[in-house]
Amino acid sequence: MRVRIVGAGPAGLYLAVLLKKADPSHDVEVVERNLPDATFGWGVVFSEGTLGELRDADPETHVEITDTFARWPTVDIRYRGRLLRSRGHAFSAIGRRRLLQIMQRRALGLGVGLRFETEVSDVNGLAAEADLLVGADGVNSLVRRTYAAEFGEQVAPQGCKYVWFGTDLVLDAFTFIFKRTDAGIVQVHAYPFDERTSTWIVECPETTWRGLGFDAMNEGESLAACEALFADELRGHHLLSNRSLWTSFPLVRNDTWHRPGIVLLGDAAHTAHFSIGSGTKLAMEDAIALSQALVRHPRDIERALLDYELERQPVIERFQQAAGESAAYFTRVERYAHMDPMPFAFNLLTRSGRVTHANLAQRDPQFVRVLDAWFPGGGLLEPGAVAPPPLFAPWKAGAVELRNRVVRASAEPDRLPALARSGAGLVVAGPVAVTLDARISPDTPTLDDDASAAAWAALVDDVHAARAAAAVSLTHAGRRGSTRPPTHGADVPLRDGGWPLVAPSPIAYAPRMPVPRAMDAGDMARVGQAFAAAARRAAGAGFDMLEVDMGHGYLLASFLSPASNRREDEYGGELVGRLRFPLEVLDAVRQGWPEDRPLAVRLNVMDGTRRGLQLGEGIAIAGDLAEHGCGLIHVVAGQTVPEAAQADYRRGFLTPLADRVRAEARVPTLVGGYITTPDEANTLLGAGRADLCLLDVPDTDLERELVAAAGEEVAAAMAVA
């Protein structure tokens, strides 16, 4: 087989080595436009998982690579003058130049042709003279660009502005530095890669970058400026430039990585943001997968290329997802700058979704112990203290203390005591309608008279007997009312026995749903009074917390959204108008609800449609609600209109929204969004993305999972207490 590889980076050289090793009769040549020792950048990082694969694929290069590796188990986080260390990790790194030398020597020894300083101008011509042409020519791949349409190429900038320096300061840990400047936070990702040198990447959002004048500096000036900025951390050492220029990271994706006789490898096919340090790892794994596929299908190159792509694409998608989360985290670090060092560091470590509370506890039990001990007290660290994980830390608001952060909700009142007995700290009854004509369906429970209040009081007693707190979520269905029970569907109108609907504007919610009547002043006054009356009855029934429903397109949410509120009076128009009635209701509820019991709002922070409420407005609303006495935002999104184009039902889909509300409006948050495991909950709570977590697990599994997650001591303590 005649193979021509464009690009003598790690991917191209490694593929050449593996192919030639598998069959010395292959004619393999690598074409590179630069000199053998020319390379951008400094050191590259590997994880232990990759090393095993390298050993299996080619023991010779594996030995040489690992002999020169810098290895370390520690992540250092420098933030607000504090140094936090997390141990138990397994990083290793090597100078990029050194890695290439090893590969080049091995390739030459096996009889691979290496042509340096050779510019490829005619990709088609090169392809025509080979059985297989490999585009291993990096992020700006000529091979990819030549067939951009066929590959379905997509390239877009991702994350912050960054510049890749070296330094003669030899670090002993993967080091993150967060440096406050007048223009915002600038961060460093640094790690050692040989006995003399470390990689030192500086990055910041574009606004900060401009604010610090980096946009107007040349290479030397920006090096000097970064050296001055990090003078303390560099401890007298210098930054080193290797054509180190500020740039944006290009996210490369392709619909497919091969066409007849041509295949893309490594960065040419896909990139993953440098902040998860996986680019070289992925490129070399690509080379292994492709060489193995070609061995499996010696006479069918097309089948081999397809196999390679089928094997690698799901892996790459996972890394690109994680890398995207990581890149996005670094663009918004500024918003977390108010956080205490422990949750700040845990938020950093868990940013990409690959590290969780449970797996960090395996790697670095000490770090997690400190986090857990810090968590409930917010800074009180007693030496040797052992605390349960965040999900089992108590939560206090006013006179109410929850024994843990587990929240469970049910629309069926009879299920509440069982949920409380299953170990939840808070059970939420809801939605509960404030009047009969505020119901969603005939099944919706109400809290509209003394008889219903008495029934609720009995249920609350049962919940309290199981040592859980009880909340009620008060709703008015608005234009989503008068539907059949949820067993039959949602928003399917009642045929018989329905009731008239009201809404801010006369627009039907969904197909076949009736057109609601636009509310007048009298309607608004009645609804406000109904909420206030229900709040008084809820207090009397002994509920510990009250939630006002401004979510999912029900009445109050439909006032907030421009997609459903087209009023031209003072209750519509700009946000201040759309917020007016929901705020009046909240104020009325506040009057009827005891001062010392927490008042929450279930708030749609975005609608997920272009003409609806946007997240920025949602965060602003959360701030306004807090000023009116709301102490907890239960973050929800969507359903304002039934066909919301941006709906995205990934696992934990509401967590990023809760995180933004909590960080920017500085209001405690309750989050659900299909969180099914205690580990997910511990991770998001420990990282400060929310304060309480609505778990979505089948009832039968809950108790078992909670007990397993809390650890036996905690379970025993819970049973005794």
Partner 1 sequence: MRVGIGLPNTIPGVDGPVLVDWARRADAGPFSTLAVLDRLAYDSIEPFAALAAAAGVTKRAGLATMIAIGPLRNTALLVKQAVSVDALSGRRLTLGLAVGARLDDYETAGVEHRGRGARLSEQLATLRDGDDLGVRPNLRLLVGGMTGPAFARMARYADGYAHNGGPPRAFARAADSARAAWSDLGRPGRPVLWGQGYFALGDEEAGATYLRDYYAFTGPFAEKIAAGNLTSARAIRDFVRGYAEAGCDELILFPTVADLEQLDRLAEVVS
Nearer to partner 1, 218 or 487 (CB): 487
Verify whether residue 554 is a known catalytic residue: yes
Nearer to partner 1, 224 or 310 (CB): 310
Nearer to partner 1, 320 or 639 (CB): 639
Q: Rounded CA gap, 70 and 66, in Å?
A: 8
Residues 6+ apart with CB under 8 A from 720: none
Nearer to partner 1, 258 or 357 (CB): 258
Nearest to 67 by CA among 174, 194, 167, 169: 194
Determine if residue 527 is left, alpha or beta; phi over 0 gives left, psi from -120 to 50 gives alpha, anything else beta.
Answer: alpha
In whole angstroms, how close is the CB of 313 to partner 1 at the nearest point? Answer: 9
- Whether the CB-CB separation of 408 and 675 falls below 8 Å is answered with no
- Whether the CB-CB separation of 181 and 197 falls below 8 Å is answered with no
In whole angstroms, how close is the CB of 325 to partner 1 at the nearest point? Answer: 16
Task: Give the footprint of partner 1 on this chain (CB under 8 A).
Answer: 150, 152, 255-256, 258-259, 303, 306-307, 309-310, 314, 411-412, 431, 484, 486-493, 495, 510-512, 608, 638-639, 642-651, 653, 672-674, 696, 698
- Whether the CB-CB separation of 492 and 442 falls below 8 Å is answered with no
Set 14, 79, 554, 571: catalytic member: 554
Nearer to partner 1, 2 or 651 (CB): 651
Residue type, 184: G
In whole angstroms, how close is the CB of 428 to partner 1 at the nearest point? Answer: 13
Helix/strand/coil percent split, the chain, to 5: 40, 20, 35
In whole angstroms, how close is the CB of 364 to partner 1 at the nearest point? Answer: 29
Nearer to partner 1, 645 or 720 (CB): 645
Residue found by looking up tokens 């539907």 in the block = 483
In whole angstroms, how close is the CB of 561 to partner 1 at the nearest point? Answer: 16
Structure tokens at 438: 């505020």
Residue found by looking up tokens 């101008």 in the block = 121
Nearer to partner 1, 142 or 510 (CB): 510
Structure tokens at 646: 């941006």
Structure tokens at 134: 């490999």
Structure tokens at 329: 């985290």
Nearer to partner 1, 82 or 303 (CB): 303
Nearest to 633 by CA among 675, 663, 593: 663
Q: Rounded CA gap, 620 and 610, in Å?
A: 18
* Count of residues making up the chain: 721
Q: Rounded CA gap, 518 and 524, in Å?
A: 10
Q: What one-character DSSP code corresponds to residue 543?
A: -
Q: DSSP letters along 475-525, please? A: E--GGG-SB--TTT-SSPBPSSS----EESSS--SSTTPPPPEEP-HHHHH
In whole angstroms, how close is the CB of 392 to partner 1 at the nearest point? Answer: 23
In whole angstroms, how close is the CB of 630 to partner 1 at the nearest point? Answer: 22
Q: Where are the alpha helices (DSSP H) in 485-597?
A: 521-540, 555-560, 575-578, 580-592
CB crowding 296-310: b at 16 or more within 10 Å, else e? ebeeebeebbbbbbe
Nearest to 129 by CA among 27, 263, 268: 27
Residues marked active site are found at 554
